[in-house]
């Protein structure tokens, strides 16, 4: 079985689950703490199998999310392309970081995503933010080790066994 086809269902189900987690209703108090699920999944797939997630796939996923939640068309696409670009550029280094350093790198990438969000929203004329705006990247970085280990375990379990 080719590497591209190996675990294909996990790829699509994880991305669909990321989109579902984006639109699932949460109480207003928790909304600022909701991590950028699709961004975290793009980070993981870009680290593990860069042949599956490229700039085009990140752009398509971002447009899908823009349409799904009704944001400015291209906002999430731009953000996910930036995340994918950074990850694909520094993948060789990031893959071999210890988990705590990977979590810090994910925090830096997600903070960069927030800066891009702030820039896009300020251009669009919506710049009202508070300190909670910066909490989602922290939650994403805290969740990173568990997300990484869970997806890695699922991918290993579904690898074809060699005879």
**Per-residue model confidence as pLDDT tens for the chain (163 residues):** 444 455 688 999 999 999 999 999 999 999 999 999 999 999 999 999 999 999 999 999 999 999 999 988 999 999 999 999 999 999 999 999 999 999 999 999 999 999 999 999 888 887 778 889 999 999 999 999 999 999 999 988 887 766 5
In a domain, 162, yes or no: no
Q: How many domains does one find in the chain?
A: 1
Is 2 contained in some domain?
no
pLDDT of residue 125: 84
The token pair at 50 is: 């860069």
Are the C-beta atoms of 73 and 7 separated by less than 8 Å?
Answer: no
Q: Is 54 helix (H, G, I), strand (E, B) or coil?
A: coil
pTM reported for the whole predicted model: 0.90
Residue 142 lies in a domain: yes
Judge whether 124 lies within some domain: yes
Cα gap 8→11, rounded to integer Å: 5
Give the domain extent around 141.
Answer: 8-157
Residue 71: inside a domain: yes
Burial (CB count <10 Å: 0-12, 13-18, 19+), residue 79 = buried
Say if 50 falls within a structural domain.
yes
Contacts of residue 12, defined as CB under 8 A and 6 or more positions apart, other chains included, come to none
What is the distance, to the nearest Å, from the Cα of residue 138 to the centroid of all Cα atoms in its chain? 13
- Report the 10 Å Cβ neighbour count for 16: 11
Token code pair at residue 157: 């379990």
DSSP 162: P
60 within domain boundaries? yes
């Amino acid at each position: 079985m080719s590497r591209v086809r190996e675990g294909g269902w996990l790829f699509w189900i994880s991305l669909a689950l990321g989109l579902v987690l984006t639109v699932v209703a949460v109480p207003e108090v928790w909304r600022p703490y909701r991590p950028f699920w699709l961004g975290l999944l793009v980070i993981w797939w870009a680290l593990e199998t860069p042949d599956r997630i490229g700039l085009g796939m990140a752009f398509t996923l971002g447009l899908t999310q823009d349409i799904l939640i009704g944001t400015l068309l291209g906002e999430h696409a731009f953000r996910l392309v930036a995340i994918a670009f950074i990850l694909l550029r520094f993948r060789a280094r990031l893959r071999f970081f210890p988990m705590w350093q990977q979590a810090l790198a994910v925090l830096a990438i997600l903070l960069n995503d927030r800066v891009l969000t702030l820039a896009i929203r300020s251009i669009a004329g919506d710049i009202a933010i508070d300190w909670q705006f910066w909490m989602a990247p922290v939650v994403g970085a805290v969740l990173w080790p568990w997300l990484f280990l869970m997806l890695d375990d699922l991918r290993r379990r579904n690898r074809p066994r060699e005879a």
